[in-house]
Structures are given as C-alpha cells and as structure tokens.
Amino acid sequence: MIKKKMQKPLKNQAAELVMNGKFTQALEIYEKVKETDNDEPGVYNLMGDVYLKMRETDNAISQFKQALELYKKVQYYPNAIAVCKKILRTDKDQAEVYNELADLYDERGFIGEAVINYLEYARKMRAAGDIKKEIEIYKKVRELVPFRTDIREKLVDLYIAEGEKDAAIEELERIEQLLIQQDKQAKLSDIEERLKAVRTIKISIPKVVEEEELTKEKAKIISGYSMDDLIGEDYSTERRKGKKERDPSDSLFDKED
C-alpha cells in the first residue's frame, strides 16, 4: 500500500502526464492515489476531467458523481456545487443533478439559485410524466418562497391534475389569504371564482400534459420576474438564518492540490 503522504507527488505526476496528452497513464497514477485514500473526492474529480479530455463522457460523469457524493459526505459544499455544474455542462439531461444542486444551494442559503434549479428539475419531471415528483418539488419551492402566489397556483394545477381536490382547495384558500395580505384586489376576484369552481365541480383533467403546454407553464411562472420577484418581497438570497455565502466559481473550486 502506497503511503498517504505520497498523494501530492502522485497527483503532480498525473497532472504532468495529462499536460503531455498521456491520459491513460495519468488515470493509472490516479488509481494509485485512490489506494492511499479511497474516500478522497478530489481524485475522482480529476479523473472525471481526464475522461472528458478523452471524450468518454459516461466515465467522466460517473467519476464526477462519485466526487459529488464524497464532497457532500464531508460537507464540502462549494466543491459539490462546482461538480454539479460540471456534470450539467457535460450533460444537461442529468435531471437528478438539478435536484442535488438545488439542495446544495438551499443548504448554503442561496435561495434564488435553489428555486431556479428546483423549477428546472420540476420541468424535467413533468416532461418525464412524473407529476407526483413534480408536486413534491413545487412543495419544496413553496417552502422557500411562501409568499409567491404563482408557485402556489402551479401547485393547484398539479393537484387538480392528480385529482387531489382537497389539497387544491386548501392551496387556493391560502392564496386568497396571501392576496388579501398583499392588497392585490385585482387578482383576488379571480382566485375566489376559481375556488368556487373547484369546490363545486368534479375534477376530470388528463394527467398527461404535452411538452408545449409545459413550456408555456414554465414561461408563465418564470418569465418577466427578476430574482427578487422569484424569491418574494419578504425574502432575499441571504440564508434564512445567517449571512449569504458567496457562490463559488468553478475555476476556483475545481483546482486540486
């Protein structure tokens, strides 16, 4: 077993091999680094970079995901965020990574960024036909921005699509209360009419929604709002119980010793 103190020289050796285009040899050296500490996330991150240079994206993403889990395990959230971004740059169809990234942003208090990534994840769940998962995500968003009535209205649509009439009524009643508090009388009458309709009619709405409708819904929710609009008047991108931390740049946190 190679002594752990040899990690840095081995990484330097591997980095030099990468610079010279000797990717396979570099990967062999990184495997030796793993022998010193299999739970060191940085080596997985570096191996992912090498696989990208070799245009082996599946292997690269596999390494990045292992790095992500290990960064989360040691609560090194800045690097975990950087790795999520790297995965999504490589493959935007990695739907679960949007959820991971949103959770990490939420953990660090970047509420606006968390909302954006949760909404993107919800969009992908809708495209996959998983409305129950979409509801779950919108509930998370509702907790982050409780004063945003447009998010709650989207939840109403989803509840109705799933035949959850009581949940839809409860959400509409909460929207009604918020509009009164926010003195938005123009919108209030529309919600009152909708609440009356939901209480009296039987719900029979197809569960499958076409992608074109999804795109329109996303545009309706997000388009025209600034970051402050998304978060709500009583919220900012500061951590709810502490000062906002700076969002790390990839270039800073991708670098390894």
Judge whether 27 lies within some domain.
Answer: yes
CA angle 143, 206, 155 (to 5 degrees): 10
* Residue 36 confidence (pLDDT): 85
* Residue 213 confidence (pLDDT): 52
Judge whether 127 lies within some domain.
Answer: no
CB 105 within 8 A of CB 81: yes
Query: Which pLDDT tens digit goes with each residue over 2-31?
Result: 456 778 888 889 999 999 999 999 999 999
Distance CA 129, CA 123 (A): 10
Distance CA 182, CA 168 (A): 21
The residue range of the domain holding 30 is 7-77
pLDDT of residue 177 exceeding 70, the answer is: yes
The CATH number linked to 50 is 1.25.40.10
What integer is the mean pLDDT of 61-86?
97
| Both tokens assigned to 19 | 């610079």
* Residue 203 confidence (pLDDT): 54
pLDDT of residue 240 exceeding 50, the answer is: no
Judge whether 14 lies within some domain.
Answer: yes
pTM score of the predicted model:
0.76
* Residue 201 confidence (pLDDT): 73
Judge whether 52 lies within some domain.
Answer: yes
Judge whether 125 lies within some domain.
Answer: no
Judge whether 167 lies within some domain.
Answer: no
What integer is the mean pLDDT of 135-142?
97
Q: What letters, b where the CB count within 10 A reaches 16 and e where it falls short, cover 176-201? A: bebbeeeeeeebbeebeebbeebeee
* Residue 228 confidence (pLDDT): 47
Query: Which pLDDT tens digit goes with each residue over 139-163?
Result: 999 999 999 999 999 999 999 999 9
pLDDT of residue 223 exceeding 50, the answer is: no
Judge whether 116 lies within some domain.
Answer: no
User: Reduced to 3 states, what is the DSSP secondary structure of residue 48?
Assistant: helix
Integer angstrom CA distances of residue 101 from 6, 65, 82:
33, 12, 9
Judge whether 129 lies within some domain.
Answer: no
Overall number of domains in the chain: 1
